[in-house]
Amino acid sequence: MRGHLQTDDELHPCDPQPPGSQIYRDHCDRVLYPASYMRLTSKLPTVPVTSRGIVVGPDELPNFCLLDGDGLTPDGKRTLGTRPRERTGVPLPAPDVLARYTGPGMALGMPLTHDRQPYGRDLSLPPAYQDRHVFVGGNTGAGKSILTENAILTNVKATAGPDILIDSKGGGTAEEYLRAHYARYGDLDDVLYFDCTKVLPALSFFDIRPLLDADVPRTEASARVAGQHEEILEGLLGAERYGRAADSVKAIRNHVRALFDPVHGDDVFGHDHLYATLSRTMDMEAPPAVTDDGLDEYFESLVERDREIFMKVLSGAVGRVDTIATDGRLSTMFDHTPADGAATFDFADLLDEDRVIVFDFGGMEDRVNHPTYSRIWKSLRGCLPKIACLVGSPRSAE
């Protein structure tokens, strides 16, 4: 048996298309030619024995098959070792674009080229580009926590001011960061760590002083705190159960606003004071004194209602607030008020310090995690434009 090789580079004056192109075209059009080696002309001398048919063995036949990847069976995909679409290479941006993401900053990692080879240079997010939110998404086990730890670890020396890590999902991310920080910098002197299962920062919840200092009107400031308190209670009780009695919800909201009254109230108070005030109103002693005409009319109409309806409204309000009052972990945090000379925690005091603040919620029960996380986030939110904050994946309750 003797083979003969022909290529399209050779001259083929008698053929409308070169043989290679013709075979490709016939293959795409699924044109099948039989193996015709036994023609009469094949027996004549000087006539080459050729055929347009393809003769292959079982092992060679798959090389001539073009299959749609989506049409493969699971066994076929495993046999071919196909790669899922999300794992295929993506072309890199232009070099001048990548050059912007070099130097000191938040480490992003080393990208892969289109053929899935390391690019050879780590990318980072310089401080100049950190005025936007950054969202990191991925499946479980994709490495989001590791990326977060490395990002804040490299960002510490690249930025001025505090870097804050809130690990709300647990899983050891906070402790892993502490070990990595110690390994790189040799100590933890510039790290402030809160194990929220054991100790909480001395933050006061019912406190409108920061809002007043920011020139927020008192009525707006008190309404904001009342709304945040509602969100926390709703998270603890569930939206359906909490909103089942609208009058009770309204009573809680208006009592919070009343305790911030500019004449009869205070700029800051504890949750125990709110609970006591609602209890006094329910005992028909007296509603809180207010200077706001709208609130005054509300309390007058409330105490004039039918006794049975009045008791349902107030007992519903006290029962909802009781969710925090009777939980030792939550009441400790929500009852806190800054006494004269007592230690307090204020993010504003740390704006000019190069420190890392770590809040570790690992091991905390979900129903306690949510209000604690919300309280810290509320205190932090006013300073967000000025500091770098990395928030771990929230739990389902969040």
pLDDT digit of tens for each residue in the chain (398 aa)? 566 777 767 666 666 677 777 877 887 788 888 877 777 766 777 767 777 777 888 888 877 777 777 777 778 777 776 566 666 667 788 888 888 888 888 888 888 777 778 888 888 989 888 887 788 887 877 788 888 888 889 988 888 888 888 887 767 888 899 999 999 999 999 998 888 777 777 777 888 888 888 888 999 989 988 988 888 888 888 888 888 888 999 999 999 999 999 999 999 898 999 999 999 998 877 889 999 999 999 999 988 888 889 999 999 999 998 888 887 777 877 888 876 556 667 766 777 788 898 888 776 777 677 777 777 777 676 555 444 445 555 444 33
Instruction: Give the integer Cα–Cα distance in Å for 188 and 174.
Output: 13
Determine the Cα–Cα distance for residues 206 and 225; give it in Å rounded to an integer: 7
CA dihedral 63, 68, 71, 77 (to 10 degrees): 50
- The CB density around residue 367, as the number of other CB atoms within 10 Å, is 15
Structure token digits, residue 271: 């949750």
For 4-12, the CB contacts below 8 A with 24+ separation are 4/48
Q: Do 207 and 266 meet the contact criterion of CB atoms below 8 Å apart?
A: no
Question: What pLDDT is stored for residue 181 in this prediction?
Answer: 93
| CB proximity list for 317: less than 8 A, separation 6 or greater | 248, 249, 251, 252, 255, 278, 282
Predicted pLDDT at 172: 82
Are 322 and 278 spatial neighbours (Cβ–Cβ below 8 Å)?
A: no
Structure-block tokens of residue 9: 């580079």
Quote the CA–CA distance of 101 and 110 in Å, as a whole number.
11
287-317 in b/e form (b: 16+ CB < 10 A) is bbebebeebeebbeebeeeeeeebeebbebb
Count of positions (residues) in the chain: 398
Q: How far apart are CA 7 and CA 35, in angstroms?
A: 21
Residue with tokens 């230690």: 343
pLDDT at 276: 92
